[in-house]
Amino acid sequence: MSLLPQEFIRRKRDRQTLDEKDIAAFVAGITDETITEGQIAAFAMAVFFNGLSRDETVALTLAMRDSGDVLAWPDIDRPVSDKHSTGGVGDNVSLMLAPILAACGVAVPMISGRGLGHTGGTLDKMESIPGYSVMPDNALFRRTVDEVGCAIIGQTGRLAPADKRFYGIRDVTATVESVPLITGSILSKKLAAGLGSLVLDVKCGNGAFMDDPKKAETLARSLVDVANAAGLSTSALITAMDQPLASAAGNAVEVRNAVDFLTGAHRDARLLDVTLALAAEMLLRSGRAASHGEAADLARDALDSGAATEKFQAMVTALGGPADFVEAMDRHLPKAAIVRDIAAPQAGTVLGIDTRGVGLAVVTLGGGRRRAADAVDHAVGLDELVGLGTVLQEGDAIARVHARTEDEAAEAEAAVIAAYRIGEGEAAINDAVMMRIAD
């Protein structure tokens, strides 16, 4: 008997357990559009209120994985691994992490997304590089991963298409926050990428999707449990997002920050901690290192020796970017018409940062999106952002704004000043890496 969508929805509404075959049939209906938007929305709301068991979430994840292409890497003789971040402000880790892992002998087919809301998107950052193709054909993608060791690209329409439709409906029906649906959405795409292992960076703080440590841990444990039950070796780090991770937030400004990080010209301390922790976790999880100490040494050596910088440049060149990008990035990256410091309104210590507010200031400048269809100005943003605990005199710079117009610069300046709480006392600063969760 074929699936009756309304009965399937009713069972979850009434807190009954869903059958694996019925879940697969419902997802197939999402893909071929025999299931209506109203039925998808009703199911999402039933799950939002009643949840899914681990086995139900695994079945949903695998069905969405199988709704489109599932990649395989039979010709690559190295471990294949990736990481996923739940998103934040100044989170350009992927730009350094992929080449570090490639330099350590791990293949990284990194399928990334665009920014929406206050969080930045890796694809938007990479598109700051002239000529770089974030949507190469399959042959170029595979060749780059094979020859260079890493490629940062976007999701094709044939990778987990059921999730794409499902997420679009969740986004407009107030059901995005459901942990099992978040889990299925993230992992279906990663499983479709043909990975051998995965490491998750679950952000926690006022600039993150999960602002509460308990909620972040719940999501991280769901992701790890479901991924491992689905056959993908996975662990997670919960990292702090109570201040911008890098001292830059935007697109071209974060690319510049990433290149300076790779070359050693400048490395933000907390960004270094998170990047090396994720790199070590990926090396350990992929089997490239036998111990955490060995993994940490491999990652640091790849960074300090310049091998990771070489991999980054090779990836940029392979995917259409300038062959001299690293050495001449200031000539290639777009520049804003107005660049000026934002002055601290008073003396004191930075006691708090509304990280989401900083991200929204970038959106105001045109560096992010209010709607998915919006264009992005890659040149605008903020850099030289000071962190929690910084001691300031009145008039000291707390950031530098890159803007198209004086009005937009003034608006962003006001937003950044409002986001910084400066006063007397000591700032409470979380460790950059707050917790590790493994199977």
Three-state SS at 116: strand
Spatial CA neighbour of 198 closest among 85, 104, 297: 85
- Residue of 12, 65, 78, 84 marked catalytic: 84
Cα distances from 267 to residues 245, 246, 304, in angstroms, run 11, 9, 11
Q: What's the CA gap between 159 and 350, in Å, rounded? A: 44
Q: What's the CA gap between 142 and 215, in Å, rounded? A: 37
Task: Give yes or no: 247 in active site.
Answer: no
Task: Give yes or no: 85 in active site.
Answer: yes
Q: What is the DSSP letter of 18?
A: P
Cα distances from 37 to residues 46, 183, 184, 297, in angstroms, run 14, 21, 18, 50
- Residue of 185, 222, 233, 355 marked catalytic: 185
- Residue of 31, 86, 122, 183 marked catalytic: 122
- Residue of 125, 165, 190, 311 marked catalytic: 190
Task: Give yes or no: 311 in active site.
Answer: no
Read off φ and ψ for residue 249, nearest 5 degrees: -140, 120
3-state SS of 71-139?
A: CCCCCCCCCEEEEEECCCCCCCHHHHHHHHHHHCCCEEEEEECCCECCECCHHHHHCCCCCCCCCCCHH
Q: Is 249 exposed, middle or buried (0-12, 13-18, 19+ CB in 10 A)?
A: buried
Task: Give yes or no: 83 in active site.
Answer: yes
Q: What's the CA gap between 68 and 170, in Å, rounded? A: 20
- Residue of 12, 65, 67, 82 marked catalytic: 82
* Cβ contact 223:186 at 8 Å: yes
Read off φ and ψ for residue 155, nearest 5 degrees: -75, 130
Task: Give yes or no: 112 in active site.
Answer: no
Residue with tokens 């000291």: 396
- Residue of 65, 78, 83, 400 marked catalytic: 83
The H or E element containing residue 85 is strand 81-85
- Residue of 78, 114, 125, 189 marked catalytic: 189
Spatial CA neighbour of 286 closest among 62, 65, 78: 78
In the chain, how many H helices and how many E strands? 17, 13
- The amino acid sitting at 137 is D
In our burial notation (b when 16+ CB lie closer than 10 A, e otherwise), range 123-143 reads: bbbbbbbeebbbebeeebbbe
Q: Are strands 197-204 and 150-154 parallel, antiparallel or unpaired?
A: unpaired
* Cβ contact 86:208 at 8 Å: yes
- As a whole number of Å, the CA-based R_g of the chain is 22
- Residue of 85, 247, 309, 355 marked catalytic: 85
Task: Give yes or no: 119 in active site.
Answer: no
Task: Give yes or no: 286 in active site.
Answer: no
Secondary-structure percent of the chain, ordered helix, strand, coil, rounded to 5: 45, 15, 40
- Residue of 78, 164, 170, 378 marked catalytic: 170
Catalytic residues: 82-85, 122, 170, 185, 189-190
